[in-house]
Structure 1
Amino acid sequence: MMKKLMVCGTLASIATLTGCLGSDDDNDTASAVQKDVAIQFAGEVNGQPFSCADTYAGLGTNNSSAVLTDFRLYLNNVNLIDAEGNKHPVTLKNDGAWQTDEVVLLDFETGDGSCTSGTAATNMLVSGTVAEGDYTGIEFNVGVPGQTNHQDSTAAPSPLNISGLFWRWQSGYKHARIDLKLDTPYDYTDSSGAAKTGTSWFLHLGSTDCSGDPTLGETVTCGNPNRPTITLNDFNIEANKVIVDYGKLIATTNLSTPTPGPFGCMSGATDADCVEVFKNLGITGDQTLFGKGSL
């Protein structure tokens, strides 16, 4: 220790000496101490707990009634925010099922009732470690991060190996998939001009306007990444959970009169059914999908 002080003393300045002493290894170690965190999420529809067994009324601008057939979404880049506004990254725990070290899959559907295309297992938790401290907010991105989005999903680790959450190599993953089936059918005309009826309304959020062939080792760039950043202030992970309310997401959309094209929002830049959804996702407006609830 004396040798360390003598070296610092040669800098001929009390201020410099003070700064040198302030870089003691003990302080560095203390600042790097990590703690376990578990951030809870809950799926809801207009303030009601989500269930594959329930029918929900009052959906969208036309007060539609429907059951949800899927309710899954990926998250990445999770940070906790301190009182000064500084962001502290949450290091995700790779559990071999719901989380890699880059991405988390939230899965609210239970594979029964109206959700027969899903699985019985669910996940409503983000777990990891973060630097010791007091936090007053949370931030995360919806979706699969760019460096991971374009790959062979059949060879990817869980939860990136689910075929129902993948489009194709270039477009990548469905960052979110929330689908419903309406009680009252709607009329539409298909591409051949034939009159038909339908009941499905899909939300498949993903990156679009992508170029580059990842199968040839090319870098893929997407004009519309569609990975909104969500920030919730006044959020205490020990007292609060993140609410994901689908009813609020589609509150300003008419579900009973789909626009021409895919039934619902498939993330296309000209998809009229995405206009209000993208606003409420935080892509083009103020998000309403995510909120705060009490544990």
Structure 2
Amino acid sequence: MIRKYTVYLFVMLVICGCSEQNSQTKLVFEPSYNGQAIACNNTINHQNNEWSVNQLQFFISQIQLQNKQGTWQNMSLAKTAKQTEKIALIGSTCQKTEFEQWQLIFNNVFDITDFQALRFSLGVPFEQNHVNPLEQPSPLNDSAMFWVWQTGHKFLRLELSSGADNWLFHLGSTGCRSQSVMRAPREACLYPNFFQFELPLDDSNTIGFELSKLIDGLELTMETSCQSEHDNLACQTLFSRLNESGEQAVFRVPVND
């Protein structure tokens, strides 16, 4: 009898836990190229070449929502394998589909239609960016999204391939000064490459990532790949694209046709 009760209690706890997670308020990120959804099993046509998206992942932090009265509120996230309370790793690695995460899960349940705008940063704040990843919670311990202590995390990792050709964009802080690459800097990096975004919200609870706006006009080769070097012309173009707003914005509220 005791054993049956224990099994019953365990099942109920699992059900309640799943129900609670399903009821939590979420925001979904949707990647696209020229309005067409990006997935691991399809390709994009860029400058008459077919490209596969092998990896698209990015950290977002400093998440705020603005209510209808115009007040901004700091938002807390549910702790998961892809989120701390303040930082989330969004995106997917096509070779490892278990790393896929395209939604923000907030720590509590609320009516998101009570809010009119979203504000967030693309990157990891300085205080967490240069900490030993082995001492950090998931997802900040993901070695694939980390350079070294001196430079810290890759804020965005985008990797494309077309046959034998490859192109990549790794966004992160550069110009970071410390005694060695294995030491964290004490002061902010010369080029933080930390971008902030503010978007209106609609009833779809969806934020788009429009890849075509990021790489428009770029010839994708290893020579135009970017590891966030300040003097790299391709990097300068990509940085400027992340600063665009309105119809040219990379992050946007999707338009329903």
TM-score range, shorter chain: 0.7 to 0.9
2:54 paired residue among 53, 57, 69? 69
1:274 paired residue among 232, 235, 247? 235
Distance 1:290 1:217 in 2: 30
Deviation of the 1:290 alpha carbon:
0.8
The residue type equivalent to 2:236 in the other structure is V
For normalisation by structure 1, the TM-score amounts to: 0.70
**Corresponding residue of 1:81:** 66
Q: How many residues align?
A: 229
Unaligned residue ranges in structure 1 (runs of 5+): 1-34, 110-114, 186-198
Distance 1:102 1:70 in 2: 23
Larger radius of gyration: 1
For the residue of structure 2 that corresponds to 1:210, the secondary structure is: coil
Deviation of the 1:121 alpha carbon:
3.6
Deviation of the 1:51 alpha carbon:
1.2
For normalisation by structure 2, the TM-score amounts to: 0.80
The percent of aligned pairs where both chains have the same amino acid is 26
Distance 2:169 2:65 in 1: 28
Distance 1:275 1:63 in 2: 24
The residue type equivalent to 2:254 in the other structure is G
**Corresponding residue of 2:103:** 125
Are 1:42 and 2:30 matched, yes or no?
yes
Q: Which has the higher helix share?
A: 2
For the residue of structure 1 that corresponds to 2:213, the secondary structure is: helix
Distance 1:42 1:54 in 2: 15
Q: Structure 1 residues 294 and 253 mapped into 2: Cα distance closer, same or farther (>3 Å)?
A: closer
The answer to whether the 8 A contact 1:176-1:205 is kept is yes
Q: Structure 1 residues 89 and 182 mapped into 2: Cα distance closer, same or farther (>3 Å)?
A: same
Q: Structure 1 residues 64 and 101 mapped into 2: Cα distance closer, same or farther (>3 Å)?
A: same
Distance 1:294 1:38 in 2: 19
Deviation of the 1:86 alpha carbon:
2.4
Q: Deviations over 1:63-99 (max 9, x none)?
A: 432111101100001111234432111112222x011
Q: Which has the higher strand share?
A: 1
Distance 2:184 2:213 in 1: 40
**Structure 2 matches for 1:93-112, cutoff 5 A?**
93-95=78-80, 97-109=81-93
